[in-house]
Amino acid sequence: MKKILYYDTTLRDGCQAEGMSLSLQDKIQVAKRLDQFGMHYIEGGWPSNPKDMAFFKEMKKIRLRKSRFVAFGATRRAHISVKDDQNIKDLLEAGTKVVTVFGKSWDFHVTEVFRVSLKENLQMISDTVSYLKSKGREVIYDAEHFFDGFKANPDYALQSLQAAAKAGASNLSLCDTNGGTLPHEIRHAILRVRRSVKTPLGIHCHNDSEHAAANSVQAVGEGAVLVQGTINGIGERCGNANLISVIPVLQYKMGRLSFSPKQMKELTQLSHFVAEVCNMPLHNNQPFTGKSSFAHKGGVHINAMMKNAKTYEHMDPRVIGNHRRFLVSELGGKTNILLKAKELQFNLEKESPESRKILAEIQKLEQEGYQFEAAEASFELLVQKILGRYKPMFTVKKASVRAENIGDNNSLSTAEAVITAKGQEYFCEEKGDGPVNALDQALRGALRKVYPVVDTIRLTDYKVRVVNSEAGTAAKVRVFIEFQDKDKSWTTVGVNENIIEASWKALVEAIEYKLLKG
């Protein structure tokens, strides 16, 4: 059974996602991290794009330990010699040992987009692949729109593959470019392809019908040995096949081992790292590496999980670097509270007064609009207070904020904070881009002299939810604030009719949590 190779196109296809923009340094960071993980191929982009060519030049200075770096481009233009095509010259100048070229497999695109004869298109494919091979490059051929082409004109779609194979392509990657193909159609097409060409096959799926991962897995089941996709599935329109899902499915559910157990334990970190660098937030419910992918809330589920984790988990989260979470909610009852407290190293008995008091307080606060399942730092502080283990690191004596120049493009907020810590009083006034930012700056400014560690954390997320919208502008709001240091992130919650008051409560708890944890 052949080893499956993975081809990451986050830095090319992924960068075509709406709202996605990476600096040169961002791209270098992602490439290094993919290499550290052990990705087999890393596609860097189009050398014909000046920004991407600058990236290729920088990457020549960096020695990848595990990955093969890839330049991407099109077949030669119609009616021009391949050696005179600037796109082909750029591919060679990129200096990668591997190049991927895409060509048309759908006769509709040949006649309507390229506006050339079907014969000329086949010659474009053949000339490009053979020329790049003659220059010592490994050539992967991306058969663009292959599955749509196969449905429309299977004979011509197969001829396009045969042209690339005969010219020396090392892999023929079949593309579901429009993302509308279904798994059974993938199977039918690949069975036919395998009778027509002997060159190893790859799969490159888009997610427009929510089948990119399933189609990729199906293709491997039918004999494909290379899977293209992106980290977290980012990409144009609805994205690409999510390698973060495909890799563990093939590794653990189909026995197609491509990475060591040590590498697989880095999968969650890789997923979160790329999300952070790309500024494309990871959905909590993303399979495998999402924050909620192994989270349990309902009381029935939790009770079963206490007996055997297999009852409500399809795999052990630890093998991919994730972890099990028990969410704090009135739905989970005392069992949930006990499990969460145990995670935090608080040993409680189910019927103890402390357990009853914690559950009663959570039920009361949730009726007021609080929600602790996404604010575990606030829950930990609450438990410490009820158990009498809470020792305040500082006390806020006064805090205020005022806005200036509201209504123009130069509005600023000014905040003041007076705190006492270790027997002394500290004051700070700071300006910020909005009241919450100003309060954050003022609070940390007041704390800085006694707790310099506050400079090692940063606010990474701020969410506001209306609790009772029927109250209009007098409605309560729930504010979640997330902070992060070099090791982890944590979230706190505040609720009030006044959005600034709710934000202040969450902000104070977030910083206090960091000081308590060290």
Average pLDDT over all residues of the chain: 91
CB 217 within 8 A of CB 182: no
Model pLDDT for residues 451-460, shown as the tens digit of each residue: 999 999 989 8
pLDDT score of 336:
66
Q: What is the DSSP letter of 281?
A: P
Structural domains present in the chain: 5-259 (3.20.20.70), 347-391+457-518 (3.30.160.340)
What's the average model confidence in pLDDT over 422-443?
A: 93
Which strands make up the sheet holding 489-496, listed edge to edge? Answer: 458-466, 477-484, 489-496
Instruction: Give me the pLDDT at residue 469, please.
Output: 55
Q: What is the pLDDT of residue 334?
A: 62
The 10 Å Cβ neighbour count of residue 323 is 12
Q: pLDDT tens across 412-423, in order? A: 899 999 999 999
Q: Residue 225: pLDDT above 90?
A: yes
Residue 495 region, left (φ>0) first, then alpha (ψ -120 to 50), else beta?
A: beta
Residue 128: the pLDDT is: 98
Predicted confidence at residue 412, as pLDDT, reads 84
Sheet holding 395-404, edge to edge: 395-404, 412-421, 424-432
Q: Given this model, what pLDDT does residue 112 score?
A: 93
Determine which of 24-33, 280-289, 327-336 has the lowest per-residue pLDDT on average: 327-336
The tens digit of pLDDT for each residue in 387-399 reads 888 888 999 999 9
Question: Of the given ranges (41-55, 391-405, 417-431), which has the lowest mean pLDDT?
Answer: 391-405
Of 101-105, 237-241, 295-299, the range with the lowest mean pLDDT is: 295-299
Q: Are 37 and 266 in contact (CB under 8 A)?
A: yes
> 157 is written with which tokens?
């779609």
Question: What gap in Å lies between CA 130 and CA 56, rounded to an integer?
Answer: 23
> What is the pTM (predicted TM-score) of this model?
0.74
The answer to whether 337 and 348 have CB atoms below 8 angstroms apart is yes
Quickly state the pLDDT bin for 329 (edges 50, 70, 90). Answer: low
CA–CA dist 349, 6 (Å, integer): 49
Mean pLDDT in residue range 474-483? 85
Report the C-alpha gap between 349 and 338 in whole angstroms.
7
Residue 474 has pLDDT above 70, yes or no: no
| Mean pLDDT confidence for 299-305 | 77
Residues 194-218, buried b or exposed e (16+ Cβ, 10 A)? eeebebbbbbbbbbbbebbbbbbbb
Q: Is residue 448 classed as helix, strand or coil in its secondary structure? A: coil
Residue pair 59/47 in contact (Cβ under 8 Å)? The answer is no
Is pLDDT at 481 greater than 70 in this prediction?
Answer: yes
Both structure tokens of 259: 């990475």
Residue 354 has pLDDT above 90, yes or no: no
Q: Decide if 411 contacts 404 (C-beta within 8 A).
A: yes
**Is the pLDDT confidence value at 487 over 70?**
yes
What does the pLDDT average to over 218-245?
Answer: 98
Model confidence band, residue 472 (pLDDT cutoffs 50, 70, 90): low
Instruction: Tell me what pLDDT residue 355 has.
Output: 79
Confidence grade of residue 471 (pLDDT, cut at 50, 70, 90)? low
> Across residues 263-268, what is the average pLDDT?
96
Lowest-confidence pick of 172-176, 332-336, 476-480, 500-504: 332-336
pLDDT digit string (tens) for 95-153? 999 999 999 999 999 999 889 999 999 999 999 999 999 999 999 999 999 999 999 99
So what's the pLDDT on residue 353? 84
Residue 307's contacts (CB-CB under 8 Å, 6 or more residues apart) are: none
The pLDDT of residue 37 is above 70: yes
Length of the chain: 518
The mean pLDDT of 75-83, rounded to a whole number, is: 95
Strands 98-104 and 477-484: unpaired
- Tell me what pLDDT residue 422 has: 92
Record the tokens describing residue 340, joined without a space: 């969460």
Cα separation, 486 vs 514, whole angstroms: 12
Q: Is it the case that residue 284 has pLDDT exceeding 90?
A: no
In this prediction, residue 461 has a pLDDT band, given cuts at 50, 70 and 90, of confident
Q: Is the pLDDT of residue 87 over 80?
A: yes
Portion of the chain with pLDDT greater than 90, in percent: 70
